[in-house]
Amino acid sequence: MTKNLITAVIFDLDGVIVFTDKYHYKSWKMLADRMGWDFDETLNHRLRGIPRLASLQVILDHNGIEASDSEKAEYAGMKNDFYRKMLQEELNRADMYSGVMDFLDALRARNIRLALCSSSKNARAVLRKLRLEKYFQAVVSGNDIEHAKPDPQIFLAGACKLEVEPEQCLVFEDAQAGIEAASAAGMNVVGVGDPRSAPGADKYITDYECIDIDDMLRTGNV
């Protein structure tokens, strides 16, 4: 029997398992409207894959606003309060990426170890709301790391928790910073979505149903 190259699969969360972009956008927009800042979908696109405080800094720079660390913490906290309220009231399985549930089930049936590595500090809350915690042997969120993507720390931490070597991992990512982080960790990486928005992955998918899972595990590519 041919030995699989891949023994673990690591997922980002937003845009890979579930679409929370609209909730992030709405919560940043609520903050911007309250503060009288300019914010639109074009600026929001620049926030993909980066942590909350870094996202806030992009918005502040765009508006030519200087803020103290305590003010930034207050603004970020306000945004997070808006976001968490939306997650609890609005997030549901209809927001999940098409075909991802069957994909997770198929990987688990093959005894593939699974990790979630997301810069979001709300990753565990999202998993709980969608009842997905049982799928992942390891979860690494923005609360667990010092260095955000494109630093490879988050993916290396995920591999460590799964007790596998980085080269045995296949990462599914949708953001440029995440693709760079996975590559820097020495892992194969599959881009989810439009390659023009996040170049650099080994392969790309727009549909989990098109994946030959057994071939993916043997070769490390989809």
Main-chain phi, psi angles of 83, to 5 degrees: -65, -45
Domain coordinates in residue numbering, the chain: 8-18+96-219, 21-90
Give CA angle at 90 (88, 93), nearest 5°.
100
The first and second tokens of residue 109, run together, are: 């049936």
- Answer yes or no: is pLDDT of 124 > 70: yes
Q: How far apart are alpha carbons 192 and 196 in whole angstroms?
A: 11
- Going by their DSSP bridges, the two strands 8-11 and 113-117 should be labelled as parallel
Mean pLDDT of 1-13: 88
Domain range 21-90, CATH architecture: Orthogonal Bundle (1.10)
Mean pLDDT of 57-80: 97
Res 4: pLDDT: 86
43 Cβ neighbours under 8 A, 6+ residues apart = 58, 59, 62
Decide yes or no: CATH 3.40.50.1000 for domain 8-18+96-219.
yes
Q: Which residues are catalytic?
A: 12, 14
Q: Do 8-18+96-219 and 21-90 fold alike per CATH?
A: no
List pLDDT tens digits, range 14-68. 999 999 989 999 999 999 999 999 999 999 988 887 889 999 999 999 999 999 9
- Answer yes or no: is pLDDT of 90 > 60: yes
C-alpha separations of 179 from 13, 14, 41, 72, 186 in Å = 13, 14, 22, 28, 11
Res 45: pLDDT: 87
